[in-house]
Structure 1
Amino acid sequence: MRILVAGGARVDAGKTTFSTGLVARTDAVGYKPRAGNDYWFDHDDFRTATADGRLYGKDARKLAAASDVPVEPEDVNPVHRLWRPSPGSASGLLGRDDREFLVDRVGDGYVVNGTVDIPRAVRDALPLADAPRVSSIAEFNDCMAERHLPAQRALCDEVAAADRAVVESYADVARPFRAIDPDAVAVVEPGRVRVYDGDRYGKGCAVASGGPDAGQLEERVGDVTDLVDPATEAPLPPLSADARADPKSVADAYDHAYDAVLATAFE
Structure 2
Amino acid sequence: MARRILIGGMNPFDSGKTELAIRLINTLLEVGFRVEYFKPVSGHNYWLHHAHTQSCLEDGLLVSKDAARARKQFEPKSEILLSNPVHALYAPVNLEKPLRNLTNTLALAGWSSVLVLERFSMPDNGGIETTMLMASRLLENEEVVITQEDAGRLSQGAGLVDVNSLEDVQEFEHSHFEEHVTASFKHLERNTEVIIIEGFNDAAWPFDGLKSVDSLLIVGPGHVYTYDPEKFRKGAYLMNRGNLPIREVTYNRVVDLLKPQDLHRIRPSEKLSTGDLEKLGIFGRTGKND
TM over 0.5: yes
- Residues 21-46 of structure 1, C-alpha deviation per residue, up to 9 Å, x if partnerless? 21232332110001111001000000
- Correspondence 1:109 to 2:131: yes
Of the three residues 189, 192, 201, the one matched with 1:171 is: 201
- Correspondence 1:216 to 2:244: yes
Report if aligned partners of 1:61, 1:72 keep a CA contact under 8 Å in 2.
no
Partner in structure 2 of residue 88 of structure 1: 100
Partner in structure 2 of residue 242 of structure 1: none
Q: Which has the larger radius of gyration?
A: 2
Partner in structure 2 of residue 225 of structure 1: 255
1:190 maps to amino acid: P
More helix by share: 1
**In 2: Cα distance, 1:96 partner to 1:153 partner:** 27
**In 2: Cα distance, 1:198 partner to 1:134 partner:** 37
Report if aligned partners of 2:240, 2:249 keep a CA contact under 8 Å in 1.
yes
- Residues 169-228 of structure 1, C-alpha deviation per residue, up to 9 Å, x if partnerless? 011111112232211211110011111111111121122215xxx323221011122211
Of the three residues 181, 187, 210, the one matched with 2:212 is: 181
Gap runs ≥5 in structure 2: 94-98, 122-129, 286-290
**In 2: Cα distance, 1:40 partner to 1:181 partner:** 37
Matches within 5 A, 1:22-101: 22-26=24-28, 27=33, 28-67=35-74, 69-86=76-93, 88-90=100-102, 92-94=104-106, 95-98=108-111, 99-101=113-115
1:260 maps to amino acid: K
* Secondary structure of the corresponding residue to residue 2 of structure 1: strand
**In 1: Cα distance, 2:137 partner to 2:224 partner:** 41
Structure-1-length-normalised TM-score: 0.83
**In 2: Cα distance, 1:91 partner to 1:97 partner:** 10
**In 2: Cα distance, 1:91 partner to 1:63 partner:** 37
**In 1: Cα distance, 2:284 partner to 2:137 partner:** 46
Partner in structure 1 of residue 17 of structure 2: 15
**In 2: Cα distance, 1:184 partner to 1:153 partner:** 19
Report if aligned partners of 2:18, 2:198 keep a CA contact under 8 Å in 1.
yes
1:170 maps to amino acid: F
Matches within 5 A, 1:120-199: 120=147, 121-127=149-155, 131-145=160-174, 147-158=176-187, 161=190, 163-179=193-209, 180-199=211-230
**In 2: Cα distance, 1:82 partner to 1:66 partner:** 24
Report if aligned partners of 1:169, 1:176 keep a CA contact under 8 Å in 2.
yes
Q: How many residues align?
A: 252
* Secondary structure of the corresponding residue to residue 216 of structure 1: coil
Report if aligned partners of 1:32, 1:169 keep a CA contact under 8 Å in 2.
yes
Gap runs ≥5 in structure 1: 240-249
**In 2: Cα distance, 1:110 partner to 1:265 partner:** 43
Give the root-mean-square deviation of aligned CA atoms: 2.7
Report if aligned partners of 1:5, 1:188 keep a CA contact under 8 Å in 2.
yes
Offset of residue 113 of structure 1:
1.6
- Higher mean C-alpha displacement, 89-98 vs 220-229: 89-98
1:181 maps to amino acid: S
- Residues 39-95 of structure 1, C-alpha deviation per residue, up to 9 Å, x if partnerless? 010000000121121111221112222346433322200111001235534564343
